[in-house]
Each structure stands twice: as C-alpha cells, then as structure tokens.
Chain A
C-alpha cells in the first residue's frame, strides 16, 4: 500500500544550490502533479504531467523544472534554489484529470537559507 512516495522528507539547501525531489506512484495512474504549500495560501500547482511523455506548467512554475521519467516517476528540480522556494512540496497522482481523486505523498519540507 505504498501509494505516492516522495523523497527526501526534509532538506536544507543553501541559496544557489540545486536539488531534485523524487516522486513515485504504484497505482498505475496516468497523471502526476507537483504542488507547493505555503502558510495561508493553500496548495499551488507548480507543474503537472497529464500522461507519460507530457509535462505542462501550472500556476507557479518559475524556478523549477520537471521530468516524467516513466509512468511511475515524476521528479521536480530546483536548479538554483532561492529563499522564496522555502516551502512544503507535495507530489500527487490521479487516474485522470483533477476531478478524479488525487492521491498525495507525505511531502518534502524544504528550507533554503
């Protein structure tokens, strides 16, 4: 019953460093998403992948890149981290568009100093 698995769970970066957040799902879902959660703002969509081989920008894509490695895996890369990217990042997956149930990972708490 793994569902959506994210790694790492916590990370501290210095400004300008790069890192990749990993996400994998074992539910054979077509669509995968990366959200960030900031206090008082709910969750905002960074990028999504409607199906294997496609990726699209969400609401707040600047400073991020993504790769849909295969149907199971969807990674998020910060090329040059900035303090404004301090947030909790959630990966999610769903069988189809967002009006089908989305399943979320446990989140990655990222701090950029």
Chain B
C-alpha cells in the first residue's frame, strides 16, 4: 500500500460546480497536510496548509482533515475555468522535517 493514495481522475465539471478532491494516507506520523495546484509543466503552487483535524477555509477553497480516518479533502466552491489544473495532496511528519510525500495528483477540468 502506498503511503498516500489519490484518485488521479481526470475529473471534469461545469463552471460553478462544487469540486471535491480527496486523499487517504496510511502513515499515522503525518501531521501536516497541504494541497498544491500544478498547471501543466509548472512547479506546484501551495494552496492550503493545515495541521489539525477539522476545516480550514480560504476564499473558495476549504481543506478538511480527518486524522482518525486518515483522510483529507479539498473543496472548491464556484469552480472557474482557471481552476483547471492538477491538484496534489502532500503531507509530512512536521517539525523541521520538510520532506513531503505527495499523492499522484488529480487532473481537474472546469468547463465554461
């Protein structure tokens, strides 16, 4: 079993839809959870950063962490065509350890 599992999609939604992206993980030592957005042939861009169970909201984005289930989610409200990209979940054990373990990424297309 891989440490981080993420459905690669692709996921196609109409503009304005609510998008739900998910990852599961097996390593209970992971304490910090991130969501990155990556456009084609570009470096990942940090979207959300959380370290506790619960929800964190930033504009149209909401990150949700359930450590008991080892499950994290990213919700995108009122999705826009500009949100079309690959979304990667990432996590690490925290502290001074910045080594991230990534999911495969989910390719999202928002159709106008």
- A and B part of one assembly: no
